[in-house]
Amino acid sequence: MKKLTSKTNHIIVTSIVCSLALMAGTGLGIFFGMKYLKAVPNYNYSAEALEDDYQSLMNRYSKANGDYTNFKGYELANIGIYKFDETTNHYSVTDGWVKATGITQTIKGTSIRQENDYFNESISASSIVKVAKRFYQDEPNQVNLFNGSSIKNGSSATWNGTPSDVLNCEEYEDLWGKQLSRSSIYVISSKTVLDSSFSLNDEQNYVIDVELDPVLSVVRYVKQMKEMSNLERYPTFSKVHIQFILDNQLNLISRCVSEQYEVYKLGFHQSDSVINEYYYQDVEIDIPDLSTNCIYE
């Protein structure tokens, strides 16, 4: 049997090291290629340009006298949203979940308007991630952001008394997607709706189903998601479906959003979510201070 010389051993070791380096380099190339080269949808659209003329829609509504046969489902939904936003005393409560890679993230939230003061709270919690944020606008053009800690049961937190950020309303919209005076983060219009329908249920409430373009409808929402979850890049949506319930005067009662999207955070994760929101208008409710937690039933 031929004995290996030291020179031969050196050549073999060098070959193994080179092979391992090549494999590692290929693996890193695939990883960074997937991270940075995987296409992200073009969200560089003006949300305002995608929206319809809501004043014209409300003019049609004022002349309809309760006959909505000439309206499309998404138009009725927008009438409900517009009416809710115009009431000076209202609030909504959010309850939902997101599932990704076998982990369920619960979502709780409250939004309040009292005259010209606005408030929003969002608490998201799972076994590995907990995030709590509050936004206060009690001055005409200033939003204060507060972070929460010691999150309990996914529905309460201890709030830091010092704002983590102070923004004017335009800066806040640029960063987070919408102003606090706007209740809906989605763009729902003739340019973003793929399909919509409506019917009356047994309670004579309108049930409206809207299927949205998974890029154009979320140009505001992706900003909020990126900031809220500290994502490295915008998510990629494949499904956005919303079911609205409105009363016979087209006042918002509830909304259920079903979504599918992919996010990148230490790898790509396919996510499914269902978010329910319940609306209450012409109701006075105090905006909580930082020592008071919202109550979620």
For the segment 67-119, what is each residue's pLDDT rounded down to a tens digit? 999 999 999 999 999 999 999 999 999 999 999 988 999 999 999 999 999 99
Share of the chain above pLDDT 70, in %: 88
pLDDT at 233 over 60: yes
Provide the token pair at 204.
Answer: 């004579």
For residue 110, the SS3 value is strand
Q: What is the pLDDT of residue 34?
A: 52
Name residues whose C-beta falls within 8 Å of residue 98's C-beta, 6 or more positions apart in sequence. Answer: 104, 105, 107, 124, 271, 272, 273
pLDDT at 20 over 70: no
Residues 114-138: what's their mean pLDDT?
95
pLDDT at 15 over 70: no
Per-residue pLDDT band at 37 (split at 50, 70, 90): low
Give the pTM. Answer: 0.86
Give the DSSP letter string of 232-275: SS--EEEEEEEEEEE-TT--EEEEEEEEEEEEESSSEEEEEEEE
Share of the chain above pLDDT 90, in %: 81
Nearest to 274 by CA among 105, 101, 97: 97
pLDDT at 42 over 90: yes
Q: What is the pLDDT of residue 39?
A: 79
Per-residue pLDDT band at 8 (split at 50, 70, 90): very low
Query: Distances in Å between the alpha carbon of 111 and those of 41, 89, 114, 128?
Result: 29, 11, 10, 26
pLDDT at 14 over 90: no
